[in-house]
Amino acid sequence: MKVAILFSGGKDSAYATHLCLSWGWEVIWVTVLPQKDSMMFHHPNVKWCKLQAQASGIKIHEIKTTHKNELEDLQKKLKKLKIDGIVTGAIASDYQRQRIEIIGDALGIPTFNPLWHKGEEFLKQMLEEMQVYIASVSAEGLGEKWLAKEFLPNDVDILSAMKPPISPYLEGGEGETFVTDAPFFKKRIQILEWEKSFKGMAGKAVIKKAKLVKK
């Protein structure tokens, strides 16, 4: 089984990769380079997905697109690849899942969402097995202190206890993440410099410098 994983550089698509590899599937990454504030795809640090590909040895395909043509461009790219399925890191977003399923139906191949509706204990396991940093926040209660912070298992309970509560997966637009180490990485990524910006209730931590180091 050869699958294309829609890879954003964040925790969910990275752990979906880990699961697929553990099942013996052949994996390639497809990374969309969207315009800012895309409803479908991560933005702040996607250019560093190439470094994650180097760290893991996984082949990566990049797609530059606009808001208007995101899904159309993605479908065209996937059509050119010889794959048996499409994998996403979707947790609870029907908006994302259904749009990828439409692409899969058009191409005549199945779609897989191995993290779909996983709970908080599963997320803690993910964070135990990977090194993850918070790259953007956009929700009441998530201040500037969360930017560029390592996302740790105990943070799951902190997020869940906030008022109003925040999805600890950060999937509903509350935040985005970047993975610097995972079980399938041959090397880990060391982030040397962040550039932070914060306004109102939203902020981003953009990686300016990073390198690969031995694990």
**Residues 95, 129 within the same domain:** no
Whether residue 164 is preceded by a cis peptide bond, meaning omega within 30 degrees of 0, is yes
Q: What is the mean pLDDT of the chain?
A: 93
**Residues 106, 126 within the same domain:** no
Cβ 29 vs Cβ 53: under 8 Å: yes
**Domain-ending residue, one of 87, 112, 137:** 112
**Residues 92, 193 within the same domain:** no
Judge whether residue 172 has pLDDT over 80. no
pLDDT at 95: 84
Q: Is 119 exposed, middle or buried (0-12, 13-18, 19+ CB in 10 A)?
A: exposed
**Residues 104, 24 within the same domain:** yes
Mean pLDDT (whole number) for 57-68: 86
105: helix, strand or coil: helix
For 2-43, what is each residue's pLDDT tens digit? 999 999 999 999 999 999 999 999 999 999 987 665 555 557
**Continuous H helices in 48-119:** 49-56, 70-80, 94-107
**Domain-ending residue, one of 66, 85, 112:** 112
Mean pLDDT (whole number) for 177-193: 98
Q: What is the pTM of this model?
A: 0.94
User: Which tokens in the block code for residue 138?
Assistant: 């956009």
65: helix, strand or coil: coil
Share of the chain above pLDDT 70, in %: 94
Lowest mean pLDDT among 94-103, 106-115, 166-175, 186-195: 166-175
Tell me which residue of 13, 171, 7 sits closest to 74, measured CA to CA.
7
Judge whether residue 173 has pLDDT over 90. no
**Residues 33, 132 within the same domain:** no
User: Domain with 181 in it: what CATH number?
Assistant: 3.90.1490.10
- Our CA dihedral for 1, 61, 75, 135, rounded to 10 degrees, sits at 100
pLDDT at 139: 85
pLDDT at 67: 63
pLDDT at 80: 96
Q: Please report which confidence band the pLDDT of residue 165 belongs to, taking 50, 70 and 90 as the band edges.
A: confident
**Residues 106, 7 within the same domain:** yes
* DSSP character at residue 130: S
Q: Is 33 exposed, middle or buried (0-12, 13-18, 19+ CB in 10 A)?
A: middle
- Is beta strand 85-87 parallel, antiparallel or unpaired with respect to 60-64? unpaired
CA distance 140 to 79: 40
CA distance 50 to 61: 9
CA distance 69 to 83: 22
Q: Between vectors from CA 147 to CA 122 and to CA 95, what angle results, nearest 5°?
A: 55
pLDDT at 164: 84
User: Domain with 97 in it: what CATH number?
Assistant: 3.40.50.620
Q: Please report which confidence band the pLDDT of residue 140 belongs to, taking 50, 70 and 90 as the band edges.
A: confident
Residue 209, domain extent: 120-214
Number of domains in the chain: 2
pLDDT at 37: 57
pLDDT at 44: 78
For 67-87, what is each residue's pLDDT tens digit? 667 889 999 999 999 999 999
